[in-house]
Structure 1
Amino acid sequence: MISTIRIRLSLACVLMVATLSASEVNYAEDPFALEQGKHVKTLADRPWADRSPEELQQWARENLHRKLIARKVIDANEHPEWEWFRKSGLGIFLHWGLPSANPDTGDAWAIQWNAAKARSGRYMEPATKMFAVAETWNPDKYDPNKWMAAASKAGFGYAVLTARHHDGYALWPSQYGSWHTGEYMGGRDLIKDYVEACRKNRIKVGFYYSGPSWHFAHEQKSFGEAGSGAYYNHKMEKVIGRPTVTAAMAAAEKQEAQGQVRELMQNYGPIDVMWWDGSVAMKDEELATMQPTVLVARGNIATPEGEHQGASENVKVANECGWWWEECRKSENSFTPNWHYGIECERNHWDTNTLLAELIRCRSLGGNLLVNVPPRGNGEMMDWFYDVCDEMAGWMKHSREAIYDIDLDAPLPTLDKTQNYTTVRGRIWYAMPNEENTVFIHELDRPTSVTLLRTGVAMDYEYRDGSLRLVVPKIMQTDLPDMVKIVFAEEP
């Protein structure tokens, strides 16, 4: 009797274990269900959900960084002259000037004392040392045509050069002030060469311009961090009391800036982008009298900087608000203070896959990528830039349609219907596989075709309950983003 009971209990245990194991195996063997679980998002995770654009704009003003806020919603139909900007989606940011000639720091901000920099032991350069670079700086290998030829081939649509950065040194011979190439470089016009190179290579022309100038009346200015209560002079000597900048000095500085901006707008033909930093030297209305089609980027569109400000959830909000946006990003893998060239830029830099993946991310969320690639002080571009451009050119031959001239107005599927970065062109979607080479999208119609964009080869996929899942086979994978093209039937 006891033996019979034991046998029955043992059989029951075996059956129970077998049942549990079968359940576990079935669940593990259903990656579709697992993917569905991953893609569930609560309303708290999606602040853009269930809000009108106007309500979301107010939420953004209260919760996001000011650089994620645009001044207005731009009606594309009212501004066909800016259609190129959203179509192209990829710009090259060229921080170049006096700081570029000091490769040990490469940091234009090294000129300013900062409490965090002081605590970390980071180098802070006396303004006198950076200003002295102008005495000898005359880039003998400056060849912007070579830069732009490579950039154009790689798919860059526009460029933005620091015509004047915060150090205040103008890269052209100006009639305003005494801190420009006319005084220190025998009248050499670096801007002219840049503009001509852009036009020759079908790159839209953009100028960055810093309203404030550290050089103007520098002996009366503080080079300490604003609001810190610590004051340093231009020799990086700590001083007692705030240095005095009179109203007349401030007015003269603004007058110089406005005069220089007029030169940039009047002396070089059509200009496509104006990119302010520090402060705005001239109102849009006055710029338009000289350059009727110029796009004033910062302020009118959202311009988040770096990985934190440009996080996907943040720029998704900007897009759902109806704002145009452009992420400004340094092409580096780990943080440095460099926007201008520094020796670290030679080895700490993006590869082609990283740049393309970031571009696809930005495009899938309705924005542009303005990636900073700083030239060396002598005017050369770093060697790796040309290697990346060559690889990008190859990718653009087969996959450019996934990022160029696509739909950018909300709603877009990324972060709502899929965690894959997915761009849209009408009834065609382009999805970038994740790190597991998987694409999963829910709440979509059954597609008419699913192919690998690079080759046009049809792909196996599973479609269930309004969701699609596929894995790019290893034999189809490359080292660059392998976009999946998903085509839907035309709506009746």
Structure 2
Amino acid sequence: MKKIIAAILLFSTLSSFAQTYKPTQENIQSRNDFANEKFGIFLHWGLYSIFGQGEWYMTNENIDCHEYAKSAQAFYPHNFNAKKWVEAIKASGAKYITFTTRHHDGFSLWETKQSDYNIMNTPYGKDVVKELADECHKQGIALHLYYSLLDWTREDYPLGRTGLGTKRKNASKTGNWPSYLQFMNSQLTELLSNYGNVRAIWFDGWWDHDEDSIPFDWQFNKLYDNIHRLQPQCLIGNNHHQHPFEGEDIQIFERDVPGENKAGLSGQTIGRLPLETCQTMNGMWGYKVKDQNYKTPKELIQLLIRTSGKGANLLLNIGPQPDGNLPDTALARLVQMGTWLKENGESIYGTTAGDIKQGDSIISTQKGNILYLHFLNEKEHRQNLSITLSKKVKKITALKDSSTIPFKQKRGVLDFEITIPKDNIDYILRIE
């Protein structure tokens, strides 16, 4: 029954468009730039960071939203330094940042005129979106802005399936949708008018109404048209776990490489838009004091490789601490990924999905007439390989040291032998 309702909702959402969206040349260029970059950093930060329980703390613990809002008077991230954030992220080899301007708890991290519930009315009193945007523009890092479609605090937001215990006094299933839609459009207008070039808006929360008995119409055409009018190059992605809707420019997969559905959130078909996988560096999106379960450098690097092998980007998340620092372990992972990308980045940046598909242990990426084979085997061993490849091979070298790999090719079958080194993360062949 849930699948039937989801299908009806999807049809309702798509039918609200005239099916006439045509991206501008600036937008197409943004898509190309985005697809070539392959690696970005997600930053989940807000009032929830104070509690150290992750970004869903309010709804998970049924916190009274009015009591929760009092934490704004304790928000003072005295160690926040946009310059250091961007420098560390840039050194990791990441090419863009996606920052949570307003999450489901409704708190805005910029100087918005649409609500008093924002960072300017805290002891800190500084517009961190502006500071981060200015630094991204200065250091040449593309800026993407996350924006929540749902709100656990506003009474005009129609109640969905989350945030039901946050004690909004006059909230209802119908809410006041025209008021809430105007609020979102006004906030998005601020973000796209006052912070320079924004390369993407990253929406989240559609799924809050995916089980409604009556299909919910988000009227995305009004939001999307406004964004493309204000900044034609600005890309739109929506973390709805569905096939892309009309007007979108990026397809997002949550916690899954495209084509996989291990987390149960990414069963949608793969479309023709640029692809992005978002994944956490540890277990949570927002800062959780007990969550030190960080993925190893090998796991993160191999995730980037497997994502690139699908022609997709990896958006890797960090939850900054309430004081404004990035966690030490996260910073260490950024350094380790940056070191690897300095040596091997040519096999990742600017590539598309490769023609060779050999399960999880052999991944391929491609750039023009160069095919990169990534061997993710962990144990040292010699390996004889026969790979079907229709194009004539001129040369095979190991990317690490440019050593030549002897090979034979006959009737579209490529035969060669390699030795996987000990403690291998990724042994890469460059096939011309």
Task: Pick the TM interval, shorter chain.
Answer: 0.7 to 0.9
1:257 aligns with 2:148: no
**Alignment partner for residue 176 of structure 1, among 114, 117, 130?**
114
Per-residue CA shift, 1:366-421, capped at 9, x if unaligned? Answer: 1111111111111110112222222222222221111111235xxx4243799621
Structure 1 residues 217 and 196, CA, compared in 2 at 3 Å: closer, same or farther? same
Q: Which protein is richer in helix relative to its size?
A: 1
**Alignment partner for residue 384 of structure 1, among 318, 329, 332?**
329
1:434 aligns with 2:373: no
Which AA in structure 2 matches 1:294?
A: C
Structure 1 residues 74 and 221, CA, compared in 2 at 3 Å: closer, same or farther? closer
Work out whether residues 318 and 325 of structure 1, in 8 Å CA contact, stay in contact via their aligned partners in 2: no
Which AA in structure 1 matches 2:369?
A: R
Larger radius of gyration: 1
Work out whether residues 31 and 235 of structure 2, in 8 Å CA contact, stay in contact via their aligned partners in 1: yes
Unaligned runs of 5+ in 1: 1-60, 114-122, 488-492
Work out whether residues 160 and 173 of structure 2, in 8 Å CA contact, stay in contact via their aligned partners in 1: no
> Whole-Å Cα distance in 2 between the matches of residues 202 and 448 of structure 1?
37
Per-residue CA shift, 1:201-240, capped at 9, x if unaligned? Answer: 211011001122212129x9868649xxxx53529xxx9x
| Structure 1 residue aligned with 2:34 | 85
| Structure 2 residue aligned with 1:292 | 232
**Alignment partner for residue 201 of structure 1, among 120, 129, 139?**
139
**Alignment partner for residue 466 of structure 1, among 407, 412, 419?**
412
Other structure's SS at 1:340 match: coil
Per-residue CA shift, 1:426-463, capped at 9, x if unaligned? Answer: 22111111325756632344522221112111235565
Which AA in structure 1 matches 2:366?
A: V
Work out whether residues 173 and 180 of structure 1, in 8 Å CA contact, stay in contact via their aligned partners in 2: yes
| Structure 1 residue aligned with 2:57 | 110
Which AA in structure 1 matches 2:193?
A: Q
Work out whether residues 144 and 198 of structure 2, in 8 Å CA contact, stay in contact via their aligned partners in 1: yes
Which AA in structure 1 matches 2:309?
A: S
| Structure 2 residue aligned with 1:452 | 398
Work out whether residues 450 and 458 of structure 1, in 8 Å CA contact, stay in contact via their aligned partners in 2: yes
> Whole-Å Cα distance in 1 between the matches of residues 48 and 365 of structure 2?
38
| Structure 1 residue aligned with 2:215 | none
> Whole-Å Cα distance in 1 between the matches of residues 204 and 317 of structure 2?
15
Percent identity, please. Answer: 22
Which AA in structure 2 matches 1:98?
A: L
| Structure 2 residue aligned with 1:443 | 389
| Structure 2 residue aligned with 1:244 | 172
- 1:85, CA displacement in angstroms? 0.3
The equivalences for 1:160-175 within 5 A come to: 160-175=98-113
Work out whether residues 205 and 273 of structure 1, in 8 Å CA contact, stay in contact via their aligned partners in 2: yes
**Alignment partner for residue 310 of structure 2, among 360, 365, 369?**
365
- 1:124, CA displacement in angstroms? 5.1
- 1:270, CA displacement in angstroms? 1.1
Per-residue CA shift, 1:21-80, capped at 9, x if unaligned? Answer: xxxxxxxxxxxxxxxxxxxxxxxxxxxxxxxxxxxxxxxx98xx99xx9x9897989822
Work out whether residues 222 and 232 of structure 1, in 8 Å CA contact, stay in contact via their aligned partners in 2: no
Work out whether residues 440 and 470 of structure 1, in 8 Å CA contact, stay in contact via their aligned partners in 2: yes
User: How many residues end up aligned between the 2 structures?
Assistant: 390
Structure 1 residues 201 and 352, CA, compared in 2 at 3 Å: closer, same or farther? farther
Structure 1 residues 389 and 461, CA, compared in 2 at 3 Å: closer, same or farther? farther
Q: Which protein is richer in strand relative to its size?
A: 2
| Structure 1 residue aligned with 2:3 | none
Other structure's SS at 1:232 match: coil
Per-residue CA shift, 1:131-163, capped at 9, x if unaligned? Answer: 232121111111122121122122111111000
Other structure's SS at 2:56 match: helix
Which AA in structure 2 matches 1:362?
A: T
| Structure 1 residue aligned with 2:44 | 95
The equivalences for 1:217-228 within 5 A come to: 217=155, 225=162
Structure 1 residue ranges (4+ consecutive) displaced by more than 6 angstroms after TM superposition: 71-78, 312-317, 416-419
Which AA in structure 1 matches 2:188?
A: V
| Structure 1 residue aligned with 2:272 | 322
1:275 aligns with 2:202: yes
Work out whether residues 428 and 485 of structure 1, in 8 Å CA contact, stay in contact via their aligned partners in 2: yes
| Structure 2 residue aligned with 1:132 | 70
1:400 aligns with 2:345: yes
- 1:183, CA displacement in angstroms? 2.2
Work out whether residues 95 and 374 of structure 1, in 8 Å CA contact, stay in contact via their aligned partners in 2: yes
- 1:322, CA displacement in angstroms? 2.6
| Structure 2 residue aligned with 1:142 | 80
Which AA in structure 1 matches 2:147?
A: Y
